[in-house]
């Protein structure tokens, strides 16, 4: 398909309160918008930017707006490459031009070791626009049908129930965690690695983490759930690379075992910085890669280091790269699941389309998809109204569960359509 025109724009959506992780805080999120057009069709894609998640050094060395502007510049550069090109499909475009785009990103940020997740995050809106356009051009307006057959081997499920995982960041009080559990959310994603005094002291971090975990376990540990094999609430800890040694992680895990919570830990995500390349196979928990698994090539490396799973983020690393990651993870015998990037409702549907077709994590009876936008966006209800099907029963979770009906699958969650609001924002 030959790309005739490409238009870009962005929205800035504020949070209710600062969202804390990696020792930093976000006040909102830029939503990149891309419209790609051939002679006969167009596709509009949305992508939530997160500079803090994708490269914390860039975030800390710029203003929040400045970091986002750099990422959006990468999106714009990629769009300039795309315009006028004749491409086979979104995956081949990514494979052909990712290194060129990443080189540009390193140039404008001045960071030679820029993390590739920064560039991939910048490409989500463009990649989604290309998938929508590709589906229209090929007459395959169904999520699964549009995926090239070489990448469909692991997408052989069609779940009617997908659990929604909320995010418990540093500032979320126990009462709000309790409300989430009461509302049916049974898997808790708990951010660890806080910098309580903002002085980088790792001993203080560990103390904060242990106290946080202890208070959660003592308060909610006896609550049962029908969606796990052991009937207990599972814990999902995300350190975002904040632990600096195996010894310190062992201290954390030994503590978790001492309070009787080790069997609850289904995921320990990114305990170490990416550059801390050590074997983690000795730890008695499922250690999962996220930011360090930029590409399918990284999956091979992480498997060799003892990582047991990977967090899939088509909404943060592009659907194209995610399909390549799934293929390699399956070949390597690693577990996988869909995680969030605090995305808005129309973008969440890309995650749900993928999550609903994946095998559940070991220990869980149903698959999961993280979604924390409802916790953080100030104008969440307004954002829901910008979904192409705002009143569909599968748009919001009920009792912590997304109920995916035949209508969801028939419409592919609405990913091939877009509200008038976003059309106006990025109209051709």
Best CA proximity match to 235, nearest among 214, 258, 207, 250:
214
Per CATH, 5-140 and 149-414 having the same topology is answered: no
Which of the four pLDDT bands, split at 50, 70 and 90, describes residue 141?
A: confident
**In the chain, domain spans:** 5-140, 149-414
Number of Cβ within 10 Å of residue 247's Cβ equals 8
What are the Cα distances from residue 69, in Å, to 66, 96, 105, 194, 255? 5, 25, 12, 27, 42
Over range 103-115, report the average pLDDT.
97
Task: Describe the crossing of helices 124-138 and 64-82 by its angle, rounded to 10 degrees.
Answer: 30
Q: Is the pLDDT of residue 428 over 70?
A: no
Residues 142-194 pLDDT 10s: 999 999 999 999 999 999 999 999 999 888 899 999 999 999 999 989 999 99
Find the DSSP H helices in 147-280. 174-182, 202-220, 246-258
Residue 391: per-residue pLDDT: 97
Q: Which residues contact 206 (CB under 8 A, 6 or more apart)?
A: 248, 251, 252
Residues 305-357 pLDDT 10s: 999 999 999 999 999 999 999 999 999 999 999 999 999 999 999 999 999 99
Residue 115: per-residue pLDDT: 95
Residues 282-294 pLDDT 10s: 999 999 999 899 9
| CB 392 within 8 Å of CB 361 | no
| CATH code, residues 5-140 | 3.30.390.10
| CATH code, residues 149-414 | 3.20.20.120
**Angle CA 215–216–219, to nearest 5:** 80
Over range 241-257, report the average pLDDT.
97
Which of the four pLDDT bands, split at 50, 70 and 90, describes residue 390?
A: very high
Over range 77-105, report the average pLDDT.
97
- Secondary structure element (H or E) that encloses residue 380, with its range: helix 380-384
Q: Is the pLDDT of residue 51 over 80?
A: yes
Best CA proximity match to 344, nearest among 13, 21, 10:
13
Question: What is the average pLDDT value for the chain, to the nearest integer?
Answer: 96
Over range 35-57, report the average pLDDT.
96
pTM of the model: 0.95
Over range 123-152, report the average pLDDT.
96
């Amino acid at each position: 398909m030959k790309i005739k025109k490409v238009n870009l724009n962005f929205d800035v959506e504020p949070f209710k309160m600062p969202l804390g992780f990696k020792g930093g805080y976000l006040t909102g999120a830029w939503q990149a918008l891309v419209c790609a057009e051939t002679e006969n069709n167009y596709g509009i894609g949305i992508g939530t930017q997160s500079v803090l998640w994708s490269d914390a050094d860039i975030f800390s060395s710029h203003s929040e707006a400045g970091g986002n502007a750099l990422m959006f510049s990468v999106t714009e550069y990629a769009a300039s490459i795309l315009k006028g090109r004749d491409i086979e499909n979104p995956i081949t475009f990514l494979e052909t031009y990712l290194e060129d785009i990443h080189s540009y990103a390193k140039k404008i940020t001045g960071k030679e070791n820029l993390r590739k997740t920064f560039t991939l995050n910048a490409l989500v809106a463009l990649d989604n626009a290309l998938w929508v356009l590709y589906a229209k051009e090929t007459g395959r307006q169904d999520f699964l049908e549009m995926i090239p057959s070489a990448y469909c081997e692991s997408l052989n499920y069609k779940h009617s129930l997908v659990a929604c995982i909320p995010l418990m960041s540093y500032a979320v009080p126990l009462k709000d965690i309790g409300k989430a559990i009461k509302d049916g959310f049974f898997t808790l994603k708990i951010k660890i690695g806080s910098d309580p005094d903002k002085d980088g002291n790792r001993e203080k971090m560990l103390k904060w983490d242990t106290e946080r975990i202890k208070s959660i376990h003592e308060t909610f540990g006896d609550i049962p759930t029908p969606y796990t094999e052991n009937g207990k609430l599972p814990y999902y800890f995300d350190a975002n690379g904040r632990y600096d040694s195996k010894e310190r992680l062992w201290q954390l895990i030994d503590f978790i075992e001492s309070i009787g919570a080790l069997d609850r830990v289904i995921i320990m995500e990114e305990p170490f910085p990416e550059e801390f390349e050590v074997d983690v196979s000795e730890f008695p928990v499922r250690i999962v890669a996220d930011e360090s698994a930029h590409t399918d090539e990284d999956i091979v490396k992480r498997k060799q280091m003892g990582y047991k799973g990977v967090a899939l983020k088509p909404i943060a690393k592009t659907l194209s790269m995610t399909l390549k990651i799934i293929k390699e993870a399956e070949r390597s015998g690693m577990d996988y699941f869909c995680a969030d990037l605090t995305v808005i409702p129309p973008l969440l549907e890309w995650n749900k389309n993928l999550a609903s077709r994946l095998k559940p994590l070991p220990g869980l009876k149903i698959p999961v998809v993280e979604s924390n936008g409802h916790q953080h966006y100030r104008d969440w209800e307004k954002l829901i109204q910008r979904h192409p099907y705002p009143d569909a029963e599968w748009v919001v979770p009920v009792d912590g569960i997304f109920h995916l009906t035949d209508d969801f699958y028939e419409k592919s969650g609405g990913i091939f359509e877009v509200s008038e609001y976003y059309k106006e924002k990025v109209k051709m």
